[in-house]
Amino acid sequence: MSKIISIGTAVPAYRHAQLNIHQFMQQVFALEEKENRKLRYLYHHCGIDYRYSVIGDYSRAIHEWKFYPQTENLEPFPSLEQRMNWFHRFAAPLSVDAIRSCIDGKITEQAITHLITVSCTGMSAPGLELQVMELMDLPKTIYRTAINFMGCYAAIHALKMADMICKSEPDAKVLVVCTELCTLHFQREATQDNIASSLLFGDGSAAVLITGNKEKRKGLEIIDFYSEVVSKGKRDMAWDLSSSGFLMTLSGYVPELIEEDFDKLTERALKKAGVQKSNIRHWAVHPGGKRILEAIHKSLGLQNGALDISYQVLKQFGNMSSATILFVLKNILEEIRHRKPDSPELAMGAAFGPGLSMETFVASYQ
């Protein structure tokens, strides 16, 4: 068995109120008043108060912009090259901050045996994993791999990989770090997808330490994983490359698709894990958006408050793609440890991404 021992998080320097981002995007989209009213309504009812970014422009006057051009027509609008330059500049230091928060008081940096980096908002070779190794002076012989461009469910895919490593190497100490700089990819055209992206996404990093069964510390022992692809939603959630950045497709049908399929998927996942739904005490659900959380609450018939931590993370940080579910799981882990329960407590995690892919896991705190 493998066990999640610790989770650490980090956010960039700039914390933007949702109102400020709305005002910025009004300038970028240059909408007519009727459309501006619709945009204002969306921003005020999305369940998000703040988001973090490596870009300070979203709360600055135009003459103080550093990333976007200080021109009336916003030309030249940031290219893919510029966006990737900023990713290379900020992603690795933010990742290191999350890692050090994760391992502090648990293990030394040199004790990490495996490093898995996750991101869908920046790619290169040499990549993020090598940058992290260099900044932390990790052994050059460390096992390393990168999970790229899988979207919001990629953290669970990385946990699955870490679990396999720990089962084959009981002494392993696997470090997974998910770092997403989503705000680098906001676009100028006022399409439904671009508006949704500018409304929901923020930047953040989360690191998780997973060990083998020789670890005596209490933590979340992973029981099982389960995933499905809902093919009818293949183009309702997508993530594509373009010359002006990465383009998100996020259809308004996604919450309906999740509501329709999630309860049955949960039944199949719990049956595979040999767990009863009534025994799940903690729900670590990726807060992809307010409507998605509402759809899951309705689909599962949950008690009020069951998804409070997911709502809180959405409110404070927005959707940080792959890192977000680890922010949720960190809060759950801290809440359990604060109470010091006498008996094991079960948790189920779920995240969604392009495909439409649904990834889940079941774990027990003990």
pLDDT tens, position by position, 51-96: 999 999 999 999 999 999 998 788 899 999 999 999 999 999 999 9
Q: Do residues 204 and 235 share a domain?
A: no
Q: Do residues 42 and 180 share a domain?
A: yes
Domain termination residue (choose one: 211, 239, 273): 211
Q: Do residues 189 and 240 share a domain?
A: no
Local structure of residue 111 (DSSP, 8 states): G
CA distances from 190 to 36, 230, 258, 292 (A): 11, 28, 26, 22
Which pLDDT belongs to residue 233? 61
Which pLDDT belongs to residue 236? 62
Alpha carbon distance 3, 26 (integer Å): 46
**Which string of b and e fits 270-308 if b means at least 16 CB within 10 Å?**
beebebebeebbbbbbbbbbbbbbbbbbebbeeeeebbe
Domain termination residue (choose one: 159, 179, 211): 211
Q: Do residues 16 and 143 share a domain?
A: yes
Which parts of the chain sit beneath pLDDT 70? 215, 233-237, 239, 249-253
Domain termination residue (choose one: 163, 180, 211): 211
**Which H or E run includes 20?**
helix 18-29
Alpha carbon distance 211, 112 (integer Å): 10
Q: Do residues 243 and 167 share a domain?
A: no
Cα 109–Cα 114–Cα 116 angle in degrees, nearest 5 = 105
Terminal-to-terminal C-alpha distance of the chain: 12
- Domain interval for residue 360: 220-365
Local structure of residue 303 (DSSP, 8 states): P
**Which string of b and e fits 185-222 if b means at least 16 CB within 10 Å?**
bbbbebeeebbbbbbbbbbbbbbbbbbbeebeebbbbb
Alpha carbon distance 128, 248 (integer Å): 22
pTM for the full model?
Answer: 0.96
Which pLDDT belongs to residue 245? 78
Q: Answer yes or no: are the C-beta atoms of 348 and 269 closer than 8 Å.
A: yes
Local structure of residue 185 (DSSP, 8 states): G
